[in-house]
Amino acid sequence: MDCLKSACTGKFGFETAIEMVTLSNITKTYNKGVVKAVTDVSFTVEAGELFGLIGPDGAGKSSIFRILATLLRADSGQATVAGYDVVSGYRHIRNQVGYMPGRFSLYQDLTVEENIRFFATVFNTTVAKNYHLIEDIYVQLEPFKKRRAGKLSGGMKQKLALCCALIHKPTVLFLDEPTTGVDPVSRKELWEILRQLKKQGITVVVSTPYMDEAAICDRIALIQHGKILSIDSPEGIISTYPGVLYAVKAADMPRVNQVLATHEPPFTGYIFGEYIHVDSQGAASRDAATDLRNVLTKAGLRDIEVKPITPTIEDCFIKMLTT
């Protein structure tokens, strides 16, 4: 990446944003157009960015990743990675991207060490050469280096896969759902690793169905049914949330849910952890908080707590899906 920086400072000056990944009007269908996986998707990822593709399974994330990794051809639209077209320049792209598919794609019958060594050679490099990149992960894997990859736990498998995708110091890293099925602790660790990689200058494009992970990205694209709902920084997306969101809690939560749903006009709310999140747009008057409190008190609920909150990405996603 050093070479990239020096090259660009020379040509463009210091703060030039480089488009590392671009998609314009990408559409992909399967079964001769019957299944629409990706519809008219466009976005760009700048060099050095940590970009998140956030959406549930089946939203089209993997198709986008495969198109960028030169594994699939889009029906229409253009895409580039590191300046090369994904169709005509596939060979160049394959030389400098790291790709981690959605399912575990290493050799289960080879040991941790054998897998890493193998992928290092495939990518024309050695483990020693880029050790600094994988060091943080490898330290955690080291105790199990003689263990076969198939016998690792979910979190460790993903760390190993990441290690193998990183071994050749890619300029762009495509990670398709690296945290799916991984427990929250390992998930945090994986995201910490991604942040470190970003610091080393690697552009990271990552997808996840876990909305809470979106906040760690520089920018995110929310995606559902093959269409982009919104692209912005997490803060940007949150700031565009229309109206105010309230977190409501009382002693008997199922009853709260019932009261809110049967109220006329009904409040739009949904459970969220220990609270119920209520959208202010459903409230009758401007002061929704007072409204809510009154309604719940009238229903005889105790220990009522109503507070305005900053929406999370998940709230924003729900809002976009329901309107």
Partner 1 sequence: MGCFINWRGKQKTVDSYQLKEVKQFATFVKKEFLHVLRDRRTLFILIGMPIAQILIFGFALTNEIKNTRIAIIDHAKDNASRHLIGRIAASNYFRIQEDIMDEDRLETAFQTSDIKLALVFPANFEDNLSRQHHAQVQVIADASDPNSATTLTNYISAIIRDYQVELSGQMPLPYQITPQIRMLYNPQLRGAPNFVPGVIALVLMLVSVMMTAISIVKEKETGTMEVLLVSPFKPVWVILSKTVPYLLLSLVNVLSIVLMSVFVLQVPVEGNWLLLFAESALFIITCLTLGIFISIKTKTQQVAMLVSLMGMLLPTVMFSGFMFPIENMPVLLQWISNIVPAKWFYSIVKSIMIKGVGIEGVWKETAILCGITLILFVVSLKSFKIRLE
Partner 2 sequence: MTCTETVISTEKLTKQFGDFVATNEITFEVYKGEIFGFLGANGAGKTTAMRMLCGLSRPTSGKATVAGFDVYRQTEQIKQHIGYMSQKFSLYEDLTVQENIRFFGGIYGLDNRQLRSKSDALIERLGLEFQAKKRVGDLPLGWKQKLAFSVALLHEPNVLFLDEPTGGVDPVTRRQFWAMIYEAAGRGITMFVTTHYMDEAEYCNRISIMVDGRIEALGTPALLKAQLNEQSMDGVFYQLARKAKNSG
The contact set with partner 2 (CB under 8 A) reads 55-59, 143-144, 147, 152-156, 177, 180-188, 209-211, 224, 254, 270-274, 314, 317-318, 321-322
Phi, psi of 234, deg, nearest 5: -55, -40
Number of residues that bind partner 1 (CB under 8 A): 47
- Asked if 182 interacts with partner 1 (CB under 8 A), we say no
Pure H helices in 233-273: 234-239, 253-262
Locate the DSSP E strands across 132-279: 172-175, 203-208, 219-224, 227-232, 245-249, 268-272, 275-279
Return the one option of partner 2, partner 1, none that residue 171 interacts with (CB less than 5 to 8 A, by type): partner 1
Tokens 């991207």 appear where? 97
The DSSP call for residue 170 is -
Taking the complex as a whole, the smallest distance from the CB of residue 293 to partner 2 amounts, in Å, to: 21
- End-to-end CA distance of the chain, in Å? 43
Site string for partner 1, 13-42 (x = CB under 8 A): -----xx-----------------------
Taking the complex as a whole, the smallest distance from the CB of residue 294 to partner 2 amounts, in Å, to: 25
Closest CA to 215 of 315, 148, 141: 315
Nearer to partner 1, 94 or 147 (CB): 94
Return the one option of partner 2, partner 1, none that residue 118 interacts with (CB less than 5 to 8 A, by type): partner 1
Nearer to partner 1, 84 or 272 (CB): 84
Q: Biggest alpha carbon distance in the chain?
A: 71
Return the one option of partner 2, partner 1, none that residue 66 interacts with (CB less than 5 to 8 A, by type): partner 1
Q: Using alpha carbons, list the distances in angstroms from residue 234 to 25, 57, 197, 271, 315.
A: 23, 20, 19, 22, 12
Q: Using alpha carbons, list the distances in angstroms from residue 301 to 241, 251, 270, 285.
A: 29, 7, 18, 21
Instruction: Determine which residue in the list 96, 130, 224, 294 makes contact with partner 1, applying CB under 8 A.
Output: 96
The DSSP call for residue 111 is B
Return the one option of partner 1, partner 2, none that residue 185 interacts with (CB less than 5 to 8 A, by type): partner 2
Nearer to partner 2, 96 or 224 (CB): 224
- Would you give the distance in Å from CA 219 to the centre of its chain? 10
Helix (H, G, I), strand (E, B) or coil at 162: helix
Nearer to partner 2, 254 or 265 (CB): 254
Tokens 């995708």 appear where? 165
Taking the complex as a whole, the smallest distance from the CB of residue 151 to partner 2 amounts, in Å, to: 8
Return the one option of partner 2, partner 1, none that residue 90 interacts with (CB less than 5 to 8 A, by type): partner 1
Return the one option of partner 1, partner 2, none that residue 73 interacts with (CB less than 5 to 8 A, by type): partner 1
| All residues at 6 or more sequence positions from 30 whose CB lies less than 8 Å from its CB, including other chains | 37
Return the one option of partner 1, partner 2, none that residue 29 interacts with (CB less than 5 to 8 A, by type): none
- Asked if 83 interacts with partner 1 (CB under 8 A), we say yes
Taking the complex as a whole, the smallest distance from the CB of residue 152 to partner 2 amounts, in Å, to: 6
Locate the DSSP E strands across the chain: 19-30, 35-46, 50-54, 76-81, 84-85, 97-100, 172-175, 203-208, 219-224, 227-232, 245-249, 268-272, 275-279, 305-309
- Asked if 71 interacts with partner 1 (CB under 8 A), we say yes
Interacting residues toward partner 1 by CB under 8 A? 3-4, 7-8, 10-12, 18-19, 66, 69-73, 82-84, 90-92, 94-97, 99-101, 103-110, 114, 117-119, 121-124, 164-165, 171
